[in-house]
Amino acid sequence: MIDQVAEKVVRRVILGFLLGGLLLLSYAVLHLFIVPVAWAVIIAYATWPAHRQLRSRLPRYPTITALLMTVLLSAAFVLPALWIGMLLRTEVGVAIAAVTAQIREGAFVLPEFVRTLPWIGDDLQALLDELTREPEALRAQLTEWVRQGSNLVLTLIGDVGRNAAKLGFALITVFFLYRDGERVLEQVVAVLRRFLGERLDPYLAAVGGMTKAVVWGLIATAIGQGFVAGLGYWWAGVPAPVLMGAITAVIAMIPFGTPFAWGSIGVWLLLTGNTVEGIGLLLWGALVVSWVDNLVRPLVISNATRIPFLLVMFGVLGGLAAFGLVGLFLGPVVLAVLMAVWREWLEESEFARLAAIASPAGGREEGEGGRRS
C-alpha cells in the first residue's frame, strides 16, 4: 500500500513538472501573440451578436460569414485610422503655422478677467510675453512639443509597424474565432470545469458581462463625447470641427483625457482674442462633455455588471497602466472575476451561518445564549 501511494505521488510530481515545462515553453513561443489574441477575443465577443445574425442568413457558409465580418471589422478599424492619420499630418503643420502667424501680427494679451486674477494673472501674462517674444523660437518649441507628444503616444501604443502587425494577427484570429469560436469555447469550458466545477458558471458570467459593458461603455461614451465636443467646436468656429471631434473621441478612450482636447482649444481661443467663444467652449466642455465622461461611462459599466463605480475606475486606470491599451478592457474583467469570487464566498459564508442556526445544535445554542443574556 505504501509503495502504491509513493508511486502515485511520484507520477503526479513528474506530471506536474512536465505540464509546468510545457506551459513555460508555450509561453516562450506564444508570448508575442498574447496581446493580439486578447484583442481578438474581446472584439469577437463584443461583436458576436452581429455575427450570429449574419450567420443565420447564411447558415451553410460559416467560412464566408466569418470572412465578411472580418472584412467589415478591418474597414471599421483601418479606414478611420488612415483618415485621421492623413488629416493630422497636414493639420498639425497648419496649426503651428497659424500660431506663428498670430504671433507675428502682435503679442498675445490675456482677457481682462484673467489678467486681473490675484497672484497668477500678471505671472501668466509675463510667461506668455516671454514665450511669444521670438516667433521662430516659439515655432521650434511647438514643433519640439509635438514631437515629444508623439513620442509619448508611441510609447503608449507602440510603433506603427508593430501595431499594424498586431492588428493583422488580431484580425486573423478574429476570423477563426468567428468560424470555430463555439467549438473552442466548448473545449475551454470543459477543461476549466474539471478544475472549478460548478463555480465556473458565475465566473464566466462575470467575464462576459464585464467585457460587453466595458467595450460598449468605452466606445459609446467616446463616440458621444466626440460628437458633443464637435458641436462645441463648430459653434466656436474652430477649423475642421469634424477632425477635432474625431481626435477628441480617440482621446476619450483614455479616462480623464478629454479635458486636454477641448481645454487646449478653449485656451487657444482665449489667447487669440475670441473670449466669448473660448469661455463658451470651456463651459461646454466642463458642463457637458466631461459630464458624459465622468458620469455616463462609469454608470453604464457599473449598472450593467453590479460592480461599484470606484472599482470600475480603478480597473480601467490600473489596467491601462499595467497592460497598455488592452488593459482598458482586461483590468475591469480581472476585477469582475475577483468580485464574483468575493460574492460567492460571502454567499457560502451566509449559507453556512443560516444552516448552523437552523440545525438542532445551533438552535439549542441560540436558545441558551438567549437565556444567558
Please tell me the predicted confidence (pLDDT) of residue 332.
79
Please tell me the predicted confidence (pLDDT) of residue 366.
47
Mind listing the pLDDT tens digit for each residue in 199-232?
778 777 777 777 777 777 777 788 888 888 889 9
- Percent of the chain whose pLDDT exceeds 90: 2
Is residue 190's pLDDT more than 70? yes
Q: Is residue 370 part of a domain?
A: no
Degrees, nearest 5: CA angle 45-48-50 = 145
Is residue 371's pLDDT more than 70? no
Q: Is residue 1 part of a domain?
A: no
Please tell me the predicted confidence (pLDDT) of residue 89.
64
Please tell me the predicted confidence (pLDDT) of residue 360.
58
Find the domain containing 56 and state its range: 33-357
> Lowest mean pLDDT: which of 69-78, 228-237, 254-263, 352-361?
352-361
Is residue 336's pLDDT more than 50? yes
CA dist 228 and 306 (Å) reads 28
Q: Is residue 12 part of a domain?
A: no
Q: Is residue 125 part of a domain?
A: yes
Degrees, nearest 5: CA angle 130-135-138 = 65
Please tell me the predicted confidence (pLDDT) of residue 295.
66
Neighbouring CB atoms inside 10 A of 1's CB total: 5
Q: Is residue 40 part of a domain?
A: yes
Mind listing the pLDDT tens digit for each residue in 30-72?
888 888 888 888 888 888 888 888 888 888 888 899 899 999 8
Q: Is residue 309 part of a domain?
A: yes
Average pLDDT (293-307) is 65
Cβ proximity of 248 and 263 under 8 Å: no
Cβ proximity of 282 and 224 under 8 Å: no
Number of domains in the chain: 1
Average pLDDT (94-119) is 62
Q: Between 193 and 210, where is the model more confident?
A: 193
* Nearest partner of 81 among 166, 152, 160, judged by Cα: 160
Q: Is residue 327 part of a domain?
A: yes
Q: Is residue 353 part of a domain?
A: yes
- Percent of the chain whose pLDDT exceeds 70: 68
